[in-house]
């Protein structure tokens, strides 16, 4: 069945173990496995969950519900909506938070369900996505969180390199540690988890740059693509090709490379910028922007070039490959491509064990 995404579980499992070991060697033992890119793919998550992670994390509660039988505490990565508090408390053991009203809603839901819900308070140390601003007067929020019935303050965390592209370093991770120390000193609260970021912190492992008070990370992309995300460098001894996309040619013909006729908008309302390269051996694949953006695919045969896509068709320059209609072409995918492919119900998933 095509299009088809192959998922190499053995490679992913090796990546997962390599990351957990590297974290442990740096004194980090609260490593969350963040699987939001898998859109709730239970088979893959089950295989990775045994690699030594402390928590299983996703940004959507719908996915955590699917992971109910996997024996790891569940953590919700996107800040909850107060309106979903009871679902969050039911299906997640822990959530990341920055708003006291939401935390109070979670506490009320937890009391009603006879549960204690763990909260990690997020602090923004410069990237400007989620978190309490680190230079604000944060102690009242921390103390109100710790004092909310049904809530346990499980720790603090920060998130970097997501919106602003800010790279984790000794300064901004140091700011997180200062907050932890201030909370302990001023409020007398012990924080079991101090979570120092995502795959963009992985390049610091083994460099003695991560402050020793940081004992947690939340890792997704490094496991799935074997690279750190501060600079995009490959990580040694990790697999970068665990995912491969296969799509089928439904047309292969020699045609001009430049459209004939008066040119307006394409099917996505964009004005195409097309270069005339003369006659071209053009192929059309049965996959489109509903499933993946062309920019997130790389043909494995380096001779082939992607030249455009509409919602259901991907157009390629087949050059001198001699491919015919019915042939299958293979592509590497990146993180953003994987996210869309996993979400598309039109893409068949095959797990290789």
Ligand X SMILES: *Cc1c(COP(=O)(O)O)cnc(C)c1O
CB of 266 to ligand X, least distance (A): 32
From residue 22 to residue 61, the character string flagging contacts with ligand X as x (rule: CB under 6 A) and all else as - is: ------------x-x----------------------x--
Q: How would you class 99 by CB atoms within 10 Å of its CB: exposed for 0-12, middle for 13-18, buried for 19 or more?
A: middle
Name the maximum alpha-carbon separation found in the chain. 74
Among 220, 226, 283, 288, binds ligand X (CB under 6 A): 220
CB of 221 to ligand X, least distance (A): 4
Q: How many residues bind ligand X (CB under 6 A)?
A: 14
Question: Near ligand X by CB under 6 A, which window of 218-226, 246-254, 265-273, 281-289?
Answer: 218-226
- Establish if 102 lies at the interface with ligand X (CB under 6 A): no
- Asked if residue 198 binds ligand X (CB under 6 A), the reply is yes
Is residue 196 part of the contact set for ligand X (CB under 6 A)?
A: no
Using CB under 6 A as the binding rule, whether residue 343 contacts ligand X is answered as no
Pairing of β 151-157 and β 117-124: parallel
Interaction residues for ligand X, span 252-281 (CB under 6 A): none
Among 13, 221, 228, 317, binds ligand X (CB under 6 A): 221
Q: Which of 11, 17, 36, 255 is catalytic?
A: 36
Question: Cβ closer to ligand X: 203 or 218?
Answer: 218
219 touches ligand X (CB under 6 A): yes
Closest CA to 286 of 246, 337, 323: 246
Structure tokens at 155: 């720790």
The tokens 């939340």 sit on which residue?
Answer: 218
CB-CB contact of 325 with 251 (8 Å)? yes
Q: Kindly indicate which of the ranges 143-151, 164-172, 219-227, 282-290 contains the residues binding ligand X, using the contact rule CB under 6 A.
A: 219-227
Q: Which is nearer to ligand X, 11 or 218 (CB)?
A: 218
The answer to whether 36 is a known catalytic residue is: yes
| E strand or H helix at 88 | helix 85-91
Shortest Cβ 261–ligand X spacing (Å): 44
What is the 3-state composition of the chain as percent helix, strand, coil, each rounded to the nearest 5? 30, 25, 45
Q: Any contact of residue 159 with ligand X (CB under 6 A)?
A: yes
Task: Calculate the dihedral angle through the C-alpha atoms of 35, 40, 43, 49, rounding to the nearest 10 degrees.
Answer: 30
Q: x/- site string to ligand X, residues 222 to 241, per CB under 6 A?
A: x------x------------
CB of 202 to ligand X, least distance (A): 8
Angle ∠(266,272,275) on CA atoms, nearest 5:
140
The Cβ of residue 240 has, within 10 Å, a number of other Cβ atoms equal to: 14
Taking the complex as a whole, the smallest distance from the CB of residue 133 to ligand X amounts, in Å, to 16
Residue among 7, 20, 93 nearest 51 (CA): 20
**For residue 115, what are the CA distances in angstroms to 110, 120, 150, 185?**
5, 16, 6, 28
Please, are residues 155 and 194 in contact by the beta-carbon 8 Å criterion? yes
Residue 86 is a binding residue for ligand X (CB under 6 A):
no
Closest approach of ligand X to the CB of residue 97, in Å:
11
Question: 213 and 196 in contact (C-beta within 8 Å)?
Answer: no
Residues in contact with ligand X by CB under 6 A are 34, 36, 59, 77, 96, 159, 198-199, 218-222, 229
Catalytic residue ranges:
36
């Amino acid at each position: 069945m095509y299009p088809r995404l192959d998922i190499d579980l053995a490679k992913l499992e090796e990546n997962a173990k390599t990351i957990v070991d590297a974290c442990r060697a740096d004194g980090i033992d609260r490593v969350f496995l963040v699987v939001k890119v898998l859109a709730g793919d239970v088979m893959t998550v089950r295989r990775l969950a045994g690699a030594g992670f402390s928590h299983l994390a996703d940004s959507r509660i719908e996915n955590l519900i699917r992971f109910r039988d996997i024996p790891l505490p569940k953590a919700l990565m996107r800040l909850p909506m107060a309106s979903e508090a009871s679902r969050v408390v039911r299906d997640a053991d822990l959530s990341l938070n920055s708003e006291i009203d939401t935390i109070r809603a979670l506490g009320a839901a937890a009391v009603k369900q006879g549960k204690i819900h763990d909260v990690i308070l997020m602090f923004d140390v410069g990237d400007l996505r989620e978190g309490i601003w680190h230079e604000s007067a944060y102690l009242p929020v921390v103390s109100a969180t710790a004092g909310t019935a049904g809530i346990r303050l499980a720790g603090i965390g920060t998130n970097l390199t997501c919106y602003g592209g800010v790279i984790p370093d000794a300064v901004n991770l140091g700011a997180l540690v200062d907050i932890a120390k201030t909370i302990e000193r001023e409020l007398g609260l012990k924080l079991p988890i101090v979570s120092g970021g995502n795959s963009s912190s992985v390049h610091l492992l083994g460099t003695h740059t991560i402050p020793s008070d940081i004992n947690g990370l939340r890792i997704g992309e490094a496991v799935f693509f074997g690279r750190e995300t501060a600079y995009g460098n490959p990580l040694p001894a990790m697999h970068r090709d665990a995912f491969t996309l296969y799509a089928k040619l439904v047309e292969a013909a020699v045609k001009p490379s430049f459209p004939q006729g008066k040119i307006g908008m394409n099917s996505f309302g964009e004005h195409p910028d097309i270069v005339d390269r003369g006659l071209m051996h053009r192929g059309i694949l049965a996959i489109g922007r509903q499933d993946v953006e062309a920019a997130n695919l790389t043909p494995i045969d380096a001779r082939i070039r992607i030249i455009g896509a509409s919602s259901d068709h991907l157009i390629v320059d087949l050059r001198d490959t001699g491919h015919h209609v019915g042939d299958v072409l293979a592509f590497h995918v990146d993180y953003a491509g994987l996210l869309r492919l996993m979400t598309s119900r039109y893409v068949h998933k095959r797990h290789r064990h």
